[in-house]
Structure 1
Amino acid sequence: MQSLIEIQQQLLPDVLAIMKKRYLILRQVMLSDMIGRRTLAASLDLSERVLRAETDFLKEQGLLHVETAGMRISESGRKLLEDLEPYYKEMFGLTELEQRLRKHFGLKHVWIVPGDSDTSPHTKRELGKAGATALRKMMNKDDVIAVTGGSTLASVANQLTTQTPLKGNWFVPARGGLGESLDYQANTIVSTMAKRTGAHYRLLHVPDHLGEGAYLTLMQEENIREVVDVIRSARIVIHGIGDAMVMARRRRVNEEVIEALKAEGALAESFGYYFDREGAVVHKMPTAGLRLEDILETEVVIAIAGGGSKGEAIAAVMRFGHDDILVTDEAAALVITAILDEEQQASF
């Protein structure tokens, strides 16, 4: 049986487009607490004239409060968004996208949030919220959860809460530090996750990029070895995905290695490994943390990454075939499906 949204899309496509636009306006205002018209127009890629007409309508309906300092959502507007929550994925066509990606890559679950986290901080916050929801759903009592670094995982940490303290659970860094902003290092993120959920955590105080000699020496240290053993026992791994060249430079990899990565067709990076377009590992860095063989044995692997710029990289890591759950945004999902469409056309 067709849903109401599907019927509207066939009979009244213009109404559905207006509904989506007004939903996005209300949602953006709610996420911002208070926002000016110019900032709102820029974040939604609407002209100020169009936005003014829409916000005037929403104000007349009692869904928005317009003040000198900006706009804020009313209680009626907040309630309307809550009522629409079960339908928004279908309204934006995200349910169909989720099903397609899940089936194509053989995943257990796919979550897609609307928007593009490359350009919208609010979408990135929603991506973190969805990642936190996915992680909570998969966590059991006394789990060890290994976490990589990066801004997206930091967003997950900031959105993670639980009503029941996870006293038996441990959060651990999947790797050492990248030398980037402290807020985005795995050690900081696992500390935040543990504190927000009442769980325990262990830290790994070693650089992520190690030479072979330094790696072997560090692995002989009893304290480090003990933490690494805990990391490699993780039942859940939650990780980000990056562009291969961007991540190589963040790791301060020398030009010789960068040229080698280019020659090997490296497109994506995740948990210290570089993948080509087909999902094959073309390069790995010695790291005190999770190894590829640990990923292959991990019970639950959750990838969280978004933004149109990462679409190709996400597709490459999904082809690696050892993720169970993907949390991404609409922009990345559309890039991935465009890649799949091109490949399908090329095969005919």
Structure 2
Amino acid sequence: MRAILNIQKQLMPDLLDVMKKRYTILRHIAASRLIGRRTLAASLNMTERVLRAEADFLKEQGLVDIDPAGIRLTEAGQKVLDEMEPMAKELFGLSELEEKIRDTFHISQVIIVPGDSDTSPYTKKEMGRAGASALRRYVSQETVIAVTGGSTMAEVATHLSPTTALKGSWFVPARGGLGESVEFQANTIASTMAKKTGGQYRLLHVPDHLGEEAYQSLIQEPNIRELIEVIRSARIVLHGIGEANVMAKRRRADEATFSALAREGALAEAFGYYFDRDGVVVHKMPTVGLRLEDIQQTETVIAVAGGKSKGESIASVLRFGHEDVLVTDEAAAREMLNYT
């Protein structure tokens, strides 16, 4: 397939540009389910006149329906998208990019979606869909799955559906709550994933950041201790990656912590640990839930994170060396290669 596309690039470059444009339009419509023409044009950075012409063409082909409520994909349109998926990787140059990231950071599997989730909510939806697909690929019957919080993990949850393996699985929060928006807390995401898949869940009703005395007191409580043991037995960890300063702010860290993070060169945060450029843990929070040693023993660790702004942060966590699967977007992947 790559050889054929290379020939097409040389002989018919305009045709490939048209294919990429129409594939992108269909992808955005599929991610939105129903979207107005003006909103779609703005999200694609396309004039309404150009989009109207493309939408009319796609309607003529039976790939979309257009009515006063907006544009939606037809069954034929979804079939075309599914059939184009393998080709799209080559079309956007993503297969080669996946190979580079996989070889550079020594990861078993890399999945890259087109776009930049910093600027496109549809790219984040695509990452969520790809993250859900990756989870389905690795889950087995009666698996304990530990998940972190965040908007990207919430997007993964929306794209899950029942499978035999997922129905018998347990979803648990990887750590305590950050005190952020309820819909982005790990407890909420774990319960949403369970409800979407027909699985079961356990909740951890403790704050993420604790003083040492409070931490020691909590882990002595029998119910909390038993739940922590379940969390630490997780066979799959599904997590996001954040920028160090952004996550410290979300955790309402004090000035001393911010100064320490800057002094130690912290760039990224994942599951309560802060990493420097070389993937070395330079700071950690005394939180209830997964520990670094649990991550190192976990059978499958799946990271879902994207956006150009996070490229360096993602690279630093990957250098820690315990990710098995990375789901990211094109902008983050290209940015990551600048820090090799």
Instruction: Please name the residue that 1:210 is paired with.
Output: 210
For residues 307 and 180 of structure 1, what CA distance do their matches in structure 2 show?
A: 21
Do the aligned partners of 1:165 and 1:197 also contact (CA within 8 Å) in 2? Answer: no
Question: Do 1:176 and 1:204's aligned partners in 2 also have CA atoms closer than 8 Å?
Answer: yes
| CA spacing shift, 1:59–1:327, aligned 2, 3 Å | same
Could you tell me whether the CA contact under 8 Å between 1:118 and 1:307 is conserved in 2?
A: yes
Q: Which amino acid aligns with 2:188?
A: T
Partner of 2:250: 250
Q: How many residues align?
A: 340
> Which sits farther off after the overlay, 286-295 or 196-205?
196-205
Which residue of structure 1 aligns with residue 237 of structure 2?
Answer: 237
Structure 2 residue aligned with 1:344: none
- 1:267–1:274 CA contact under 8 A, matched in 2: yes
The letter for the 2-side match of 1:141 is Q
Alpha-carbon deviation of 1:75? 4.2
**Do the aligned residues in 1 keep the contact of 2:154 with 2:189 (CA within 8 Å)?**
yes
Show the counterpart of 1:12: 12
In 1, the alpha carbon distance for the partners of 2:160 and 2:68 equals 34
Give the CA deviation at 1:61. Answer: 3.8
Distance 2:60 2:255 in 1: 60
Is 1:88 aligned with 2:88?
Answer: yes
Structure 1 residue 74: Cα displacement: 4.0
CA change 1:23–1:260 in 2 (3 A) is same
* Corresponding position of 1:121: 121
Once the two structures are TM-superposed, the CA of residue 338 in structure 1 deviates from its matched residue by 3.2
User: CA–CA distance in 1 between the matches of 2:123 and 2:245?
Assistant: 24
Q: CA deviation at 1:34?
A: 3.1
Counterpart CA distance in 2 for 1:48 and 1:240 is 35
Name the CA shift for 1:233/1:123 in 2 (closer, same or farther; >3 Å): same
Contact 1:97/1:333, CA 8 A, preserved across alignment: yes
Matched residues in 2 for 1:296 and 1:37: separation?
Answer: 47
* CA distance in structure 1 between the partners assigned to 2:175 and 2:12 by the alignment: 51
**1:162 and 2:184 are equivalent in the alignment:** no
User: Post-superposition shift, 1:179?
Assistant: 0.3
**1:333: which partner in 2?**
333
SS of 2:175's equivalent in the other structure is coil
**What SS does the corresponding residue of 2:269 show, helix, strand or coil?**
strand
The one-character-per-residue Cα deviations of 1:251-299 (angstroms, maximum 9, x if unpaired) are 0000111011011111100000001111111100001111111111111
Contact 1:171 1:191 in 2 (8 A): yes
Q: Which amino acid aligns with 1:301?
A: V
2:314 aligned partner: 314
**Which runs of 5 or more structure 1 residues have no equivalent in the other structure?**
341-348
Give the match for residue 267 of structure 2.
267
Q: Which residue of 2 aligns with 1:297?
A: 297
| Contact in 1 for aligned 2:172/2:203 (Cα 8 Å) | yes
Q: CA deviation at 1:199?
A: 2.1
Q: 1:81-140: CA deviations, max 9, x gaps?
A: 232122111111111111111111111111111122222222212111111111111112
Distance 1:129 1:254, change over 3 A: same
Q: Does the aligned pair in 1 maintain the 2:136–2:166 contact within 8 Å?
A: no
Aligned 8 A contact 2:141 2:164 in 1: no
Unaligned runs of 5+ in 2: none
What is the alpha-carbon distance in structure 2 between the residues aligned to residue 204 and residue 132 of structure 1? 23
Matched residue type, 2:91: M
- Partner amino acid, structure 1, of 2:334: L
CA distance in 1, matches of 2:27, 2:134: 21
Instruction: State how far apart, in whole Å, the 2-side matches of 1:63 and 1:296 are.
Output: 46
Give secondary structure in 2 for the equivalent of 1:117.
coil
Q: List per-residue Cα deviations over 1:127-161 (Å, max 9, x = no partner).
A: 11111111111112222111111111111112111
Q: How does 1:131-210 map to 2 (within 5 A)?
A: 131-164=131-164, 166-210=166-210
Distance in 1 (CA, whole Å) between partners of 2:268 and 2:2 is 39
Distance in structure 2 (CA, Å) of the matches to 1:190 and 1:73: 30
Q: Which residue of 2 aligns with 1:108?
A: 108
Moved more, 96-105 or 41-50: 41-50
Give the AA of the match of 1:179: G
Q: Deviation at 1:339?
A: 3.0
Q: Once the 2 structures are TM-superposed, how far is the Cα of residue 60 of structure 1 from its aligned partner? A: 4.2
CA distance in 2, matches of 1:332, 1:286: 30
- 1:288 aligns to what? 288
2:63 maps to: 63
Alpha-carbon offset, residue 167 of structure 1: 5.0
Q: Is the 8 A contact 2:139 2:166 kept in 1?
A: no
8 Å contact from structure 1 (residues 239, 303) kept in 2: yes
- For the 8 Å contact 2:112–2:330, the answer to whether it is kept is yes
Q: Percent identity?
A: 65
119-128 or 56-65: which moved more? 56-65
